[in-house]
Amino acid sequence: MRLADSQAYGGSQCHGSGFERLAFAADYEARRSEADSQFAAACVLLGISRSLRLSAAEAAGTCAAAAPASDNAGECKACKNSKAATQSALPANLWLEAGQQQQQQQQQQQQQQCSSHQQQQQQQQQHQQQQHKHQQQQQQQQQQQHKHQQEQQQQEQQQQEQQQEQEQQQQEQEQQQQQQQQQEQQQEQQQEQQQEQQQEQQQQQQQQQQQEQQQQQQQQQQQQEQQQQQEQEQQQQQQQEQQQQIVTQ
């Protein structure tokens, strides 16, 4: 309890030497005002009467009232008087009980602080859990996006394969068309050759026919010549016969 600290300060440190008076007065005044407020609160908790509280408070304040106007010996004497008056005003068991109650209050405050700290930790844990959940969601979204990207890539690959197949088919069709054209050209050439051959054959046949006709004509001429010769010979024979007849007559 801070009142007990104030008394200990007055009972022990007042007997030291070599400290500054103003520093001692300011420090002691601060301690006294804090001790008075806590002492009054303790008295309320303990149910001490107003007259007893006033007498004890007055006894505790005598040191601060006397300290600035006296020397070191007077200060120490005033502190001793204050300590003795306070101890005589309140029984020791009340101070012990007040200290215990204050300890209980401190423990309750510590427990409250602990519980609030635990709540903060729980809140932090919840926040971490939420962050973890959010991270999981983000990971799931990323996985879904990755899966979607893979599907898109697969679709693109399929499209590329289809395009390649179509190009191959087109190339094959073009090759087939070229082959057909070549075949047609070959057929045309063959037809032309056949026509030429036919023409040649016709020409040859015509030539043969002409030759045959010529031969026939020659044969006819020969036959005619032979006939003419025969006729001439016959005529000559007839003439000879006629001459012979004339001669014989």
Supply the pLDDT for residue 75.
Answer: 41
Supply the pLDDT for residue 99.
Answer: 58
Supply the pLDDT for residue 156.
Answer: 95
DSSP letter for each residue of 131-183: HHHHHHHHHHHHHHHHHHHHHHHHHHHHHHHHHHHHHHHHHHHHHHHHHHHHH
Residue 72 burial by Cβ neighbours in a 10 Å radius (0-12, 13-18, 19+): middle
pLDDT in tens, the chain (249 residues): 333 433 433 433 333 344 444 444 555 556 556 655 655 555 555 544 444 444 444 544 444 444 444 444 444 444 444 444 444 444 445 445 555 666 677 778 877 877 887 888 888 889 899 999 999 999 999 999 999 999 999 999 999 999 999 999 999 999 999 999 999 999 999 999 999 999 999 999 999 999 999 999 999 999 998 998 888 888 888 888 888 877 776
Q: For residue 135, what are its two tokens?
A: 């991270």
Contact 82, 60 (CB under 8 A): yes
Q: What is the C-alpha separation between 151 and 139, in angstroms, rounded? A: 18
Region of residue 90 (left: phi > 0; alpha: psi -120 to 50; beta: else) = beta
The helix/strand/coil state of 13 is: helix
Taking the model in full, what pTM does it have?
A: 0.31
Angle at 83 between CA 78 and CA 89, to 5 degrees: 120
Q: Between the CA atoms of 220, 222, 224 and 226, what dihedral angle is there, to the nearest 10 degrees?
A: -150
The helix/strand/coil state of 17 is: coil
